[in-house]
Structure 1
């Protein structure tokens, strides 16, 4: 215990000691400043869940129990939202582990609210640029290539009258142009999900499922609750790209024979579950820790839309879960359509 006391006294990082019954038994000055509350108000008087945002509470409780019963299922590093008396809701990165030989856990916390806000701004700028490039590919280059293909078709008919061999060469050229049109279409769809803007999130998810079937020969089982259409365009776009990255990772790396996508709503919240019977993620790190730009981006997008993202393996495969608050009301997101 002397070692723990020394850490408390000498670290500038917010640090707390948590008992098995969730009671916060000790805090240092850094945590007191973060919370705007002194030791006399917290130590032995407040339980840890009282300071956690409701959307993160179930996950944090599960980690707390698993840390003492099944440590492999409790990450040591992750993020959540803390309720500060003076600063409101703060986004916090936590490092937590058990105190050897005790039922206590010791946690150090770092306020990353400003960093995450900057990340969201960077993502928003990148999103606008993606959309611009995607629109240019779809509306400009795609249309240009279609025009070239049409002209080559006319030219092929003219050439066929005098040179069958040249006509066959023209057919090869037309095939290459058609391939280029299809590649441009897929690239523009990856950059700019036109289905979301024009037809809604459900249409975009259906198009994604069709794309997976077309590319990998795997038919996803898609279930979509229309209530999730209440998400605005920004949140819907984040959800779409998280799902897109997850299903492509599953199909490309996990080699599954089944793939399910469930987008559901209930009690003012939405949830997305993407489950496959492959295994494309082999450790228990949180998504933000996993190597690879795609999974890092998934974690950033989840934070940007105020949602929680987890990726878990079990005996039957891999499951990606995304959950967050659903806006009140019945209007659909920014596409001009009425309530369903």
Structure 2
């Protein structure tokens, strides 16, 4: 909104210019003043505030045109003058209408831009716009804070600069596939991915992408939210849960397990004595002894399940091997473990979450997938490790999967917590494959764990 001094200045300028145009009537040939007034109304109304001012100026200009007609009536034929000035007045008011329409559009545009600018500048989410080739066109202040770049450093660069491997290598192929097939993996869906800051560090983020068509151009707008703090808190909660499980497992092993072992030894000795004496209940005592041994073994299996991974680097491999053996005994299926390369996971928290993912996948395969054969594979590469659980069960329709199962949610959650990705693929009557991929830098030892005492 213009202040009072500027309004007075504009109106004064309008009056002076209008008077000058009217005085030029006596200095210029007939008809020239009318043309000048028509040009003036189009130009000056661009600088006047609001609709009322433009209409007032149009009326003033019309008045001067009318006066011009009166002064010129003696020089031209009345009919010709009437037609000429009528056309001029019609053109004049047409120009006023056009300018008013233009001003309304410009005002609406300015308001829209102001609202968009306010959103971009105040939102805590990073907002990034790229073109169809992946070139960054806009980068708001929140995005600068999240990624550590100034907008000038990334505008004009490919958005891959904000992505770590393997997303960086996959991005161009994804865009090409989307333009050719229209298949969406992120656009209009939203998902959790990893971003890369200017200093090279990576972090988890929620990403939602929308597509906008502007004429013959296609733009993509990404809304980014850094969820590092949320993941840290969630990880702490899970760590507390794991510690509680370890404590219970330790109590089972050292408490109940030892008690059952002692009772088993006593019952075994008593059964032997009754058998030597030919007692009629000797067989019953022997049966009780066997049940105690089974209970002892079951308690030890439970304790190993609750304390799955030793703190040594090869603890994950040994835990997965025990998992396969326990699965065969508990679920009556064939379950094998295979290690490809030497997989050393020094981070005990990461190893525990990987074990839990495998444990959940094996349990799902045996209980819900009706599998007869389950394979656990742990492989190591130069840039990542991969845990895979395959089964020959009934499977399910991969396209119809909605991920609503609690087990799938938990596995996804654990994979994200440790910086990995989880993929579940299946087909009806063709089994299921659960794959967790983890970048190498995600399973380095935690600083807090480097000097920690063994927990089990």
Is 1:227 the counterpart of 2:310? The answer is no
2:137 aligns with one of 14, 25, 31: 25
Is 1:10 the counterpart of 2:128? The answer is no
Partner residue, 2:190:
77
Partner residue, 1:260:
375
- Verify the 8 A CA contact 2:316 2:345 in the aligned structure 1: no
Deviations 1:220-263 (A, max 9, x none): 34320342125443333332222222222222222234433221
- Verify the 8 A CA contact 1:22 1:47 in the aligned structure 2: yes
Is 1:51 the counterpart of 2:162? The answer is yes
Q: Distance in 2 between matches of 1:87 and 1:201?
A: 29
Relative to 1, partners in 2 of residues 1:174 and 1:67: Cα closer, same or farther, differing over 3 Å? farther
Q: Which residues of structure 1 form unaligned runs of 5+?
A: 335-340
Relative to 1, partners in 2 of residues 1:300 and 1:162: Cα closer, same or farther, differing over 3 Å? same
Partner residue, 2:99:
none
* Other structure's SS at 2:132 match: coil
Deviations 1:115-137 (A, max 9, x none): 11122222223323322221221
Moved more, 77-86 or 132-141: 77-86
Q: Distance in 1 between matches of 2:321 and 2:146?
A: 45
Q: TM-score w.r.t. structure 2 length?
A: 0.60
Q: Distance in 1 between matches of 2:396 and 2:368?
A: 5
Q: Distance in 2 between matches of 1:185 and 1:7?
A: 62
How much has 1:314 moved relative to structure 2?
A: 5.0
CA RMSD between the two structures: 3.8
1:323 aligns with one of 437, 442, 454: 437
Moved more, 141-150 or 178-187: 178-187
Give runs of aligned pairs for residues 57-136 of structure 1, distance below 5 A. 57-58=168-169, 64=175, 67-68=178-179, 69=181, 71=183, 74=186, 76-85=189-198, 88-99=201-212, 103-136=218-251
- Which structure has more strand as a fraction of its residues? 1
How much has 1:186 moved relative to structure 2?
A: 2.1
Partner residue, 1:299:
412
Partner residue, 1:247:
362
Partner residue, 1:203:
318
- Which structure has more helix as a fraction of its residues? 2
* Other structure's SS at 1:309 match: strand
Looking at CA atoms only, which structure, 1 or 2, has the larger radius of gyration?
Answer: 2
* Other structure's SS at 1:174 match: helix
Deviations 1:239-291 (A, max 9, x none): 222222222222222223443322112224222222234326856889xx754
Is 1:174 the counterpart of 2:283? The answer is no
* Other structure's SS at 1:110 match: strand
Moved more, 175-184 or 97-106: 97-106
Partner residue, 1:188:
303
1:34 aligns with one of 140, 143, 146: 146
Which has the higher relative contact order, 1 or 2, with Cα contacts under 8 A spaced 6 or more apart?
1
- Verify the 8 A CA contact 1:307 1:325 in the aligned structure 2: yes
How much has 1:189 moved relative to structure 2?
A: 1.5
Q: Say how many residue pairs are matched.
A: 324
- Verify the 8 A CA contact 2:126 2:224 in the aligned structure 1: yes
